[in-house]
Amino acid sequence: MTQATDSLLPELARKLVETLGLDMSPESVDPNAPLIGAGLGIDSIDTLELVVMIDRDYGVKIDNRAAGVEAFASLAALANFIRERRPAASA
């Protein structure tokens, strides 16, 4: 595991909190807890906001339900989803 991929998880936690205006610190996001629904209070509009952010910042598209279920299972799952699909040039 390279330094770059190690930093993806905390980077995503920071972007999650900033993008959605969550009233919590990035460090307190449990990387293995479900992202959507209970806990963080993230709903469908928030999810779409994250989809736009991930496309813009990582060049990774989440444009169908199955991809969404996989990507938003947890913050760690989202990091994996991005790592696997990130265009080589920006990886």
Partner 1 sequence: MSLQPRAFVTGIGVLCAGAKNVAELRSLLAEPRRSFAPPTLFPCTGTSAGLPAAEIGALPTDSDVPRTHQLALLAAREAVGSGPAPDAIIVGTTTGGILRTEAALKAGSTSPEDYCFHGLDTVALSLAQAFGVHGPVMTISTACSSAAVALAVGHALLRSGLARRVLVGGADSLCRLTFHGFRSLQLLAPDGCRPLDVNRAGMTVAEGAGFLLLESAPSRPILAVLAGTGLSCDAYHASSPHPEGAGAALAIGRALDDAGISPSDVDYINLHGTGTTDNDAAEAKAVRQIFGKPLPPLSSTKGLTGHPLAAAGGIEAVIATIAIGEGLLPANTGLLALDPALQVVPVAGPTRAPVKTVLSNSFGFGGNNACVVLQAPTARAVATFDGSTRGLPALRVASAACFTAVGDLPQTWDALMRGASTVGFVPDAAFVTAVAATFARRLKRLPRLMLALAQTAHQASGATLPPGLIAVGTAWGALAETHDFLRKLFESNEQFSSPTDFIGSVHNAPAGQIALLLGAAGPNLTCAAGDRSFAQALLCASLGLAAGSSSALVIAAEAYESHFSPLFEPASQGGQASDGGAALVVLPDDGAPGPRLRWLGESAAPGPEFVDELELGSLRDRYDAILVSRPAGFASATDDTIARIAQRGCPLVTVRDRLGQHASVSATVVAILARAVTEGTLPLGESPLPLVRKRLLFLDLGARSTAVEVFA
Q: Is 42 helix (H, G, I), strand (E, B) or coil?
A: strand
Radius of gyration of the chain (CA): 12
**Residue 77 three-state SS:** helix
Q: What are phi and psi of 37, to 5 degrees?
A: 90, -130
Identify which range of 4-12, 15-23, 28-36, 73-81 contacts partner 1 by CB under 8 A.
Answer: 15-23
Q: Does 38 bind partner 1 (CB under 8 A)?
A: no
36 neighbors 42 (Cβ within 8 angstroms) = yes
71 touching partner 1, by CB under 8 A: no
Buried b (16+ CB within 10 A) or exposed e, 41-52: ebeeebbeebbe
Among 3, 23, 87, 89, binds partner 1 (CB under 8 A): 23
- Rounded to a whole number of angstroms, the minimum distance from the CB of residue 21 to partner 1 is 6
* Residue 6: CB minimum distance to partner 1, A: 27
Interacting residue with partner 1 among 4, 33, 48, 69 (CB under 8 A): 48
Binding interface with partner 1 (CB under 8 A)? 20-23, 41, 44-46, 48-49, 51-52, 55-56, 63
